[in-house]
Amino acid sequence: YEPYKLSPVFSAKAKVAMSRFEPSSSINYEKLHENINIVRRRLNRPLTLSEKIVYGHLDDPAGQEIDRGRTYLRLRPDRVGMQDATAQMAMLQFISSGLPKVAVPSTIHCDHLIEAQIGGAQDLQRAKEVNQEVYNFLATAAAKYGVGFWKPGSGIIHQIILENYAYPGVMLIGTDSHTPNGGGLGGICIGVGGADAVDVMAGIPWELKCPKVIGVRLTGTLSGWTSPKDVILKVAGILTVKGGTGAIVEYHGPGVDSISCTGMATICNMGAEIGATTSVFPYNHRMKTYLEKTGRGEIGSLADQFKDDLVPDKDCEYDQIIEINLSELKPHINGPFTPDLAHPVSEVGAIAKKSGWPLEVKVGLIGSCTNSSYEDMGRAASLAKQALDKGLKCKAQFTVTPGSEQIRATIERDGYAKILRDVGGVVLANACGPCIGQWDRKDVKKGEKNTIVTSFNRNFTARNDANPATHAFVTSPEIVTALALAGTLNFNPETDYLTTPNGEKFKLEAPTGDELPSRDFDPGQDTYQHPPAESSSVKVDVNPASNRLQLLEPFDKWHGKDLENMRILIKVKGKCTTDHISAAGPWLKFRGHLDNISNNLLIGAVNIENDAVNKVKNQLTGEYGGVPDVARQYKASGVNWVVVGDENYGEGSSREHAALEPRHLGGRAIIVKSFARIHETNLKKQGLLPLTFANPQDYDRIRPDDKISITGLKSLAPGKQLTAEIKHSDGSQESISLNHTFNETQIEWFKAGSALNRMKELQ
């Protein structure tokens, strides 16, 4: 398989646009157009924008069965993006596939391993020293296998992709759940696990369950304190953390044109928090302007010629419609502990008092892959400038994370960074930092109740600072800045006053900021390494004694029989995200070493037996131990085990370690009420059985000391239920039915022991 070839008509133009990074990249709108027309003739109905781009990338547009929410599509994405924490495992899997080069343009981005401690320059230097072994592995593996490499300090993957690689109509997959950020530039950009990325890099068609399409119709105009972030904060409140599962969220309507391109990216980025496959906006003049400002005007000209393929058809049908009038939308703040608990900013103070949440804001944090654009920084700086002019500084600690080296350099040049520092801010490295728990926080002790407000996307328990008592709220950079100045949640900047050092009362005026710099962006330092044309001499070293990198051993094949008398490692109570299953923060350093990172398996999950975390009973000895320890004891004794869980199990990050770890430590099945999309696929890829209760109430029948047998595996088939035989410790037995979503291809993964094993069988 070769990437779509450029048609001769457009090759020169498109190649100029992409030449700085991927001379071989190709944008073939003619191919997209041709595929859309084939599918349109077959379906004989108007198409949504999501359908046009997804079906436009079908491997077999003429023969593919298409039924939203039911059939599996075989797709040919245009490119792959990987961040450094997930790229380690993705590249280790690619190496073990035995293939010489990637089949589609791919990049690695070093953004996850830089811990926020002091400030940008010092933290970056420290990260380069601490992570030298991993960075060297990624740089050499990238060079060896034809992958572009963005060095530490270059910025956050999603901002780099928006600035360089996303374009209207692209299909891009990324090993990070916030890959949908690229939907702000009219692309279908989907977060996946590393094994999915390996499929695409190997030139194998990539499978995705045909998504439903939720339409969000925007009317009115954004103005004043209301920002693009408020759109997704509102949508999250409506749909909840699982309301978008299995669907693409497609924004449309006359209100779209009042949102900047980077604002649209913000909205799409946080769509990950409602479980959506991805989110997307239709191509418009705001996108074209952004393409021109980022040196890709030729792509905008091409997109203009194919505009009908980059917007939804008139009268297309959505599976669900949400209407939002932007003129009536008020600033929102969501949290704590879950990103779908939405409150208008005007009400959050009163709700916090009633709920016993700490009112004092200890830290305000702006930036992250969700909100670190030039416009975001400019609007925050406009508020900081008003405060400085009145002699005021932030009452709370204040941190600023630029999204990319280009943003950092440009806000330094244009004075925004100085204003934000003068008001009390610390400018951190161009990296994920506190958003993913890379924060060496010193101002509160673990267990101390406190409140932080961020412009990030997630606020799960202990996510940002490893303190389960931290109440984290997500909102726009503008509101974060205002609350950091006020030092309290009980402040509505639209109506309330700040007090200057001399006692004068003043009210902040609504924030303002340019969408894009009036001069060109300052690219800053060059941080990109292009893969060499000849790489046969490049050596990729993994030291067998390393505690950070470990070559992969294939998982065992299915033995051909039912899985009998399995123990329950843990019956999880309530919310269980991939942060609970495989924590980030200090554990990120082991993302390339499966055995070491497996020591964090489910250490954040609540055990229903005792309401404790990381304390489960070893049913062989009767003693209590940590979850990974008991799992290792079962594995050493030849005992298979299962995990039992609740709703939306595995929501959050795309990290496939949450699937690799249970498989490595002897797990065979995960049985829950419902799954988040990426995690369910990741489990299948690693040869585990992700199963759901046919009757969700059956969760209550299972006791932590039961033995479970899963029967019917010899006749495992799409749509056919399996049975769980439960043996209780009192000698009684019962049977329950379990559902699965395996298709024929995925059943072969299970039988082979993993998707990677199956790929090797087929070579």
DSSP assignment of 23-43 equals: TT----HHHHHHHHHHHHHHH
Q: Which of the four pLDDT bands, split at 50, 70 and 90, describes residue 21? A: very low
Q: Are 656 and 650 in contact (CB under 8 A)?
A: no
The answer to whether 112 is a known catalytic residue is yes
Catalytic one among 109, 343, 655, 657?
A: 655
Q: Per-residue pLDDT tens for 533-554?
A: 999 999 998 999 999 999 999 9
What sign results for the dihedral spanned by CA atoms 249, 253, 259, 261? positive
| pLDDT attached to residue 513 | 96
Is pLDDT at 19 greater than 50 in this prediction?
no
Q: Could you tell me the end-to-end alpha-carbon distance of the chain, in angstroms, rounded to an integer?
A: 14
From the number of C-beta atoms within 10 Å of its C-beta (0-12, 13-18, 19+), residue 70 rates as: exposed
Percentage of residues in the chain having pLDDT higher than 90: 93
| pLDDT attached to residue 688 | 98
| pLDDT attached to residue 241 | 87
Q: Are 620 and 634 in contact (CB under 8 A)?
A: yes
What sign results for the dihedral spanned by CA atoms 659, 660, 663, 665? negative
**Over residues 636-657, mean pLDDT:** 94
Is pLDDT at 711 greater than 90 in this prediction?
yes
Q: Which of the four pLDDT bands, split at 50, 70 and 90, describes residue 653? A: confident
Q: Per-residue pLDDT tens for 63-77?
A: 999 999 999 999 999
Q: Per-residue pLDDT tens for 305-358?
A: 999 999 999 999 999 999 999 999 999 999 999 999 999 999 999 999 999 999
Is pLDDT at 1 greater than 50 in this prediction?
no
DSSP state of 701: G
Catalytic one among 57, 109, 112, 408?
A: 112
| 379 vs 381: CA distance, rounded Å | 5
Question: Which tokens go with 294?
Answer: 């980022």
**Which residues fall within 8 angstroms of residue 44, CB to CB, at 6 or more apart?**
none
**Over residues 364-374, mean pLDDT:** 96
Q: Which of the four pLDDT bands, split at 50, 70 and 90, describes residue 455? A: very high
**How do 332-334 and 188-191 pair as beta strands?**
unpaired
Report the residue count for the chain: 763
Catalytic one among 458, 463, 632, 664?
A: 458
- What is the CB-side half-sphere exposure of residue 203 using CA atoms within 13 A? 11
Q: Which domains does the chain have, with CATH numbers?
A: 25-325 (3.30.499.10), 332-507 (3.30.499.10), 563-762 (3.20.19.10)
Q: Per-residue pLDDT tens for 614-624?
A: 999 999 999 99
DSSP assignment of 266-333 equals: HHHHGGGGGTBSEEE----HHHHHHHHHTT-HHHHHHHHHTGGGGSPPTT---SEEEEEETTTPPPEE
Is pLDDT at 2 greater than 50 in this prediction?
no
Average pLDDT, the chain: 94
Which of 346, 377, 686, 674 has its CA nearest to residue 513? 377
| Matching residue, tokens 């929501």 | 651
Is pLDDT at 744 greater than 50 in this prediction?
yes
**Over residues 629-650, mean pLDDT:** 98
| pLDDT attached to residue 654 | 80
Nearest 5 degrees, angle CA 82-CA 23-CA 281?
A: 55
DSSP assignment of 183-237 equals: GGGT-EEEE--HHHHHHHHTTPPEEEE--EEEEEEEES---TT--HHHHHHHHHH
Q: Are 114 and 619 in contact (CB under 8 A)?
A: no
Q: Per-residue pLDDT tens for 216-268?
A: 999 999 999 999 999 999 999 999 989 999 999 999 999 999 999 999 999 99
DSSP state of 560: S
Is pLDDT at 15 greater than 60 in this prediction?
no
Catalytic one among 177, 455, 653, 674?
A: 653
The answer to whether 740 is a known catalytic residue is no
Q: Which of the four pLDDT bands, split at 50, 70 and 90, describes residue 645? A: very high
The percent of the chain in helix, strand and coil, each rounded to the nearest 5, is: 35, 20, 45
The answer to whether 591 is a known catalytic residue is no
Q: Which of the four pLDDT bands, split at 50, 70 and 90, describes residue 3? A: very low
**Over residues 740-748, mean pLDDT:** 96
| pLDDT attached to residue 18 | 39
Q: Which of the four pLDDT bands, split at 50, 70 and 90, describes residue 585? A: confident
The answer to whether 655 is a known catalytic residue is yes
Catalytic one among 78, 84, 123, 176?
A: 176
DSSP state of 443: S
Q: Kind and range of the H or E element at 132?
A: helix 132-145
| pLDDT attached to residue 17 | 36
93-97, 348-352, 592-596, 662-666, range with the lowest pLDDT: 93-97
| pLDDT attached to residue 176 | 94
Is pLDDT at 24 greater than 50 in this prediction?
no
**Which residues fall within 8 angstroms of residue 610, CB to CB, at 6 or more apart?**
none
